[in-house]
Structures are given as structure tokens and as C-alpha cells.
Amino acid sequence: MAGVVSFLTRRRGGDRWHWTDVATWVWLIGGLLIIFGPAVWLVLSSFKTPAALSAFPPSILPYVTQEVQVEGFDKPLPLYEVTLPDGTTAQMAEKRRVGVIAQMIDPKNPGEVVKVNIKDRKPVEMVEFATSNYTEPFLQFDFLRYLWNSVFVTVMATIITLIVNSMAAFALSKYKFKGRDLILLVIVGTLMVPLGVITVPLYSIISTLGLFNNLWGVILPTVATPTGVFLLRQYMLTIPDELIDAARMDKASEWQIYWRIVLPLSAPALAVLAIFSVVWRWNDFLWPLIVLSRSTAYTLQVGLNVYAGQLNVQWHYILAMTVVTMIPVVLVFVFLQRFITRGIATSGLK
């Protein structure tokens, strides 16, 4: 720990600050705020109440207005710091508000009503985390079903994507046949085809196969990705052909070569593709929205759309469930990032 602190606090000018030290710290702190600032704001805002989210100016921490129980009222009343006409201030509870005029009462003496302009008061706030933003969606809505559907789609699509793309990449990198380069060019060229062009044909195929309102209708059209084929193919080119020739001399079948030699050596590239696939499938919204119309088959991203009504948007639930959707992607990256580093730093020969 002392070494880390010494590294972070060392200066180019020795004991004195050099202008490059200042520029470096400004650059690093600015980048840190740009990268993690939105994520921190999202997490903290997910604990805010609807009133706190609509407050202006916005705040970073989840503040709520304190409430006080007043004799003669069934529900607690919001507490405010009020500036009275004589210039003094007092903490008073709001009884009623009509336009810009609020009827304030002293919690200890509720019989006397003081009318003040809303500009002459400010709420007495405290930091409070609204954990109900996370619990209520699971209790009032079938959000566990949405979560399970997203996990199933993501896991199955990622597994099939790795298998299909790695097979195609193996053939395009280690087999020599006529038209190989042309096939690769066509596969990569499909990256320029927008989703809107193939949406209607894909929908017709899914409907014909009877996969409408079925999770497999979301999974199957997305398993073969040109990005995955190209990524794995370029990595497999670094695997020496001598290894495969030696395996063939040892009477290994093509499946054994693929499964026991090529796939283990391609683990870093497969990990990178797995991360991409998880992010793509987990965050996919348009295609599941087209294929799935039954609420029990909704994925998490489509289920979030439940809170966005035509006249009312429940931002506190949307923000909280957005944080929930971020957790699996972050965990996948944390556990697979070492493979990414290894894939960049090493070749296919082990």
C-alpha cells in the first residue's frame, strides 16, 4: 500500500510541483469523473423518491423531506424551514397548498395557521435511501420472470454463438478451399447491413417456424455474428499449423483437433467474444420487443418498458432496475478480463 501511495504522489520536479504533474492529475481526475460519474449518479438516483428525482436543482445524494406527526392529522406532514413576515425562521409543517400560497402550522400548536409564499420556505431534508425502488418491482410485477428470461436468453445465445462462430472461424482459418476469402468477405460485408433491412424477413421466418412469443425466437436469429467469426478467425490464424498437422499424424479426428487443440488455444479470443455476446444479448431491446408480445416471455429490457407509460414514467423504478441489469455485465467483465489481457499480450502458441 505504501508503494502505491508513493507511486501516486511522486512528482517529476522532485519536491516541487511541476506543471506536467498538475496537468496529469487534472487529466486523470477529469477522466475518472467522465467515466464513473454517470454510473455513480445512476446508482445514487436509483435510491431517490419520485419527488427527489423531479426536484430542481438536482442533487447527487437521495434527499427526502422530513415529516412530522401532527395532532389531528392521520398522516405525517412535510416539514419546512419557513421565513416568517417578521424575518424570523421556524420549522413548520405544511397543512395545505393552494397555488403559490402554503398554509403552514406549528407542529406543537396546530391550531394557528400561517400563510406563506412557497418562495419563503425550504424543505427540511435528510439523506434516506428508498430501497422500495428495488423491492416493489419484484413484489408487484413479475420481474423475477423477466430476470430469468434474460439470463436464459443470454446464456444460451452466448454458448451457441461461441460454438457456431468458432466452427466457422476454424474452417476459414485452417482449411484451404476455393472461395474461402470470398466467403469471409461476404460474412464481414454483412456488418454493413442494418438491422432494419432484415427485420421483416427475420420476423416472417420466426413466425413460420412457430417461434413467435418464444425465447428461442429471440436466441436463434442472433447466434451467428460476423464480428465473432472475424475475431476468432484472426486469432486462430496465429495458431501454428504444425500443431494441427501433428495431431492428424496421431490419428486425431477433425472434431478432436477442433475441440481439444483449437478451442483451448483460442480461450482468450473466446472470452472476448463471450463478453461481447453477453453485452449484446443482455442489452438487446428491439428484437425481443418485436418477437415477444406476451408479458410472461418478456426479457428484462422489454420488462423495463412497463414503467414507461404514455402519461406517466416511473423513473425511480426504471433507474433501480437499470442498476440490476448492469450487475451481470459487470460481473462477466470482472471474471473474464484476465483472458482479454492474455489475448492481447500473447499469441496462440502456448
Question: Mind listing the pLDDT tens digit for each residue in 135-176?
Answer: 888 777 778 888 899 999 999 999 999 999 999 999 999 998
Q: H-helix or E-strand containing 127?
A: strand 125-127
Angle between helices 315-345 and 143-174 (to 10 degrees): 20
SS3 category, 70:
coil
pLDDT of residue 262: 92
Residue spans of alpha helices (H) in the chain: 2-9, 19-45, 50-53, 132-140, 143-174, 180-189, 195-208, 215-219, 226-236, 241-249, 254-256, 263-265, 267-283, 286-291, 300-304, 315-345
**What average pLDDT does the structure give for the chain?**
84
Contact by Cβ (8 Å): 130, 63 = no
Residues in the chain: 350
Residues facing 90 on adjacent strands: 82
Question: Mind listing the pLDDT tens digit for each residue in 243-263?
Answer: 999 999 989 899 999 999 999
More confident site: 162 or 58: 162
Burial of 55 (0-12, 13-18, 19+ CB in 10 A): middle
Q: List Cα–Cα distances, 243 to 250, 254, 261, in angstroms.
A: 11, 13, 8
Of the candidates 163, 71, 146, the one whose C-alpha atom is nearest the C-alpha of residue 108 is 71
Sign of CA dihedral 254, 259, 263, 265: negative
Radius of gyration of the chain (CA): 30
pLDDT of residue 350: 41
Residues 6+ apart with CB under 8 A from 285: 301, 302
Cell (9 digits) for 48: 431517490
Contact by Cβ (8 Å): 231, 273 = yes
Domains of the chain, first to last: 2-45 (no CATH), 63-127 (2.30.30), 134-345 (1.10.3720.10)
Fill in the DSSP letter of residue 83. Answer: E
Q: How far apart are the first and last CA of the chain?
A: 34
Reported as a pLDDT band with limits 50, 70 and 90, residue 9 is low
Residue 277 burial (CB count, 10 A): 26
Residue 257 burial (CB count, 10 A): 20
SS3 category, 159:
helix
Angle between helices 143-174 and 226-236 (to 10 degrees): 40
Question: Mind listing the pLDDT tens digit for each residue in 328-345?
Answer: 888 877 877 776 666 555
pLDDT of residue 50: 85
CA distance 80 to 78: 7
Question: Mind listing the pLDDT tens digit for each residue in 182-227?
Answer: 998 999 898 888 878 888 888 899 889 888 889 999 999 888 889 8
Determine the average pLDDT of the residues in 102-124.
84
Contact by Cβ (8 Å): 287, 221 = yes
More confident site: 156 or 50: 156
Residue 21 pLDDT exceeds 80: no
